[in-house]
Structure 1
Amino acid sequence: MGLSLDIDLLRSFVMVAQTRALSRAAAHIGRTQSALSMQMQRLEQVLDQPLLQRTGRGVLLTPQGERLLVHAQRILRCHDEALADLTGKGLSGTIRFGCPDDYAAVFLPHLLRGFAREHPQVLVEVICAPTPRLLEQIEGHAVDLALISLADADATDVIRREPLVWVGCSGTDAAAFEPLPLALSHLDTLDHVAARQSLDSVGRAYRVAYASSSLAGLTALVRSGQAIAVLTQTAVPADLQIVPASAGLPPLPAVGISLRFDREQPSSLVAAFALHIRQQLPAL
């Protein structure tokens, strides 16, 4: 009998590749870390090739692991599509999902890939906008559900909490400028309000050098070294840095991430996507 690739092993491998940490992957698939580690060893034995490189900060894919990931994702997609089609158990339809720019960049790839594996016939249309605009779209039934940020004190049904942080460009000292140049979202967004309130509370002079809902625009100005931005900690790009407390900027609050629906009783399709988000988002 020839070699074969077990679907469960491939599914576990893809989760490890996505999370880059055995502990997070184990939490996602409901296994212990030691059981998941044994699965990965078994897969490496089947292929007689190293797939993962353990590091102090998690795991990296070897070149062989990167090649397997491409095949594994295609195999799982075909497997799940066939199962959904032949059993009639897969959901189908379209979901209109609202999400702020920073969460879309960090969380959305993982959330959509995972949901697509379970429900390959579902189409998720994504609308990116700041929380105040998303709430307006929820009210107008332009989206079915939205992932939103709320001030921590006002947040109910919180799925995850994220600290807001000051963000600057490595090797520059924009935090020392007077007045402090800021790159912020629109006036009614949490980062804008939190930045101004915290600076006002300590009497620090500032000016808003750039205001936009575009995450790309904000980070571009920070990369130029001409301004400081406020982002959720998870959304800080790898080439930018969190401004240290030693720079003298006042602390910022945390925000709560929650879901809002356009109706009290969402459809089974929307409810399934919401449940998927609730289960996956805390571990990302």
Structure 2
Amino acid sequence: MSRDLDPDLLRCFVAVAETRTLGRAAARIGRTQAAASMQVKKLETLIGQPLLHRGARGVTLTHHGERLLGHARTLLQQHDAALAELTGAGLTGTLRFGCPDDYAAAFLPRILRGFAGRHPQAVVDVVCAPSPRLEERLRRHELDLALVSTADGAEPALRREPLVWVGLRDDEGAAREPLRLALSDPDTLDHRAACERLDAAGVAYRVAYASAGMAGLLAVVRSGQAIAVLTQSAVPADLRILAPDTRLPALPAVGVLVRTALPRPAALVAEFVRHLHEVVSSA
């Protein structure tokens, strides 16, 4: 039997190790669960050691599996990068990318267009959700990487984005008593910043509308029923930024950064991270 580490076997093993179930791993690599199980067993035979503990709730790595995982990720990254460079065809595969709605509106068309031009065979699955929800999905390895917001200055960021009050043009929504707000999830930075600054200023308000998606928030603002908080780059042309005053305290900025599910991501993910740095930092 050949003692070579077949990249297909390693790719299957890494998928199993990251998803912790054969079913999800099989879906990621485009195989049946039975085929994925067979590939792992073939790799175990080749290594001569068990790599997985199989249980009712999924799989965990053995000591030998943990040791192999780091080597497998390194080998696959080098393999994919070398193949892309030598063939000139770009990287292939599928990556799962998370992005908040406001950054999707501001940056996503340029991100996807540029990456597709370099790597036309790659597939990018995009998930739009607030940053805390994306962080949760990264921890569960349901995403490979995501753009997320963090408190300004908390971590090195690609860029700073001011948070701004947004209302309908020629509307007096900001003068209502109490102030009516349309905000995202309570644990998001925009929601927390709005409430904390209004509380500190002693301004009466109520969260009249809530939506995890920007489309819902914008619909409320366009109806004239409330004002919202957005990142400055995401404010559409038909709405206006409301200048801070005695009733609308100045809002902080947030940092925009990239998080990956793994500290040593695969070649395709690492290349997408580099592309994000180029696009988002210069947009």
Return structure 1 stretches of 4+ with deviation > 4 angstroms: none
Identity %: 60
Give the greater-gyration-radius structure (CA). 2
Q: Flag structure 1 segments of 5+ consecutive residues without an equivalent.
A: 1-83
Alignment correspondent of 2:160: 161
The alignment partner of 2:104 has SS state of helix
Which amino acid counterpart does residue 152 of structure 2 have in structure 1? Answer: D
Aligned to 1:231: 230
Separation in 2, partners of 1:283, 1:260? 18
How large is the Cα RMSD of the aligned pairs?
A: 1.5
Are 2:95 and 1:95 equivalent residues in the alignment?
yes
Contact 1:148 1:260 in 2 (8 A): yes
Give the distance between the partners of 1:278 and 1:231, measured in 2 at CA.
22
Contact kept in structure 1, 2:160 and 2:254, CA below 8 Å: yes
Q: CA deviation at 1:191?
A: 0.7
Which residue of structure 2 aligns with residue 137 of structure 1? 137
Using the TM superposition, give the Cα deviation of residue 214 of structure 1 relative to its aligned residue in structure 2, in angstroms: 1.4
Conserved 8 A contact 2:203-2:247:
no
Pairwise mapping of residues 1-284 of structure 1 onto structure 2 (< 5 A)?
87-154=87-154, 156-246=155-245, 248-284=247-283
In the TM superposition, residue 283 of structure 1 has moved relative to its aligned partner by 1.8
Once the two structures are TM-superposed, the CA of residue 280 in structure 1 deviates from its matched residue by 1.4
Contact residue 175 and residue 247 of structure 1 kept, 8 A = no
How many residues are paired up?
200
Q: For 2:230, what is the secondary structure of its paired residue?
A: strand
The AA in structure 2 aligned to 1:102 is D
Q: Secondary structure at the match of 1:245?
A: coil
3-state SS of the aligned residue for 2:103? Answer: helix
Normalising by structure 1, report the TM-score.
Answer: 0.68
Deviation at 1:245, TM superposition (A): 2.8
User: In the aligned structure 2, how far is the partner of 1:85 from the partner of 1:150?
Assistant: 35
Deviations 1:177-225 (A, max 9, x none): 0100000001101110000000001100000011111111101111111
Gaps of 5+ in 2: 1-83
Separation (CA, whole Å) in 2 of partners of 1:203 and 1:216: 29
The code of the aligned residue for 2:164 comes to: V
Structure 1 residue 157 displacement after superposition: 2.6
Whole-angstrom CA distance in 2 between matches of 1:247 and 1:116:
47
Deviation at 1:170, TM superposition (A): 0.2
**What is the distance in 2 between the residues matched to 1:143 and 1:157?**
21
Counterpart secondary structure, 2:186: coil
Structure-1 separation of matches of 2:116 and 2:193: 36
Q: Deviations over 1:155-190 (max 9, x none)?
A: x13001100000000010110001000000011011
Alpha-carbon distance in structure 1 between the residues aligned to 2:246 and 2:222: 18
Q: 1:115, 1:88 → 2: CA distance?
A: 14
CA positional deviation for 1:248: 3.7
Aligned partners of 2:101 and 2:244: how far apart in 1? 26
Q: Distance in 1 between matches of 2:282 and 2:254?
A: 17
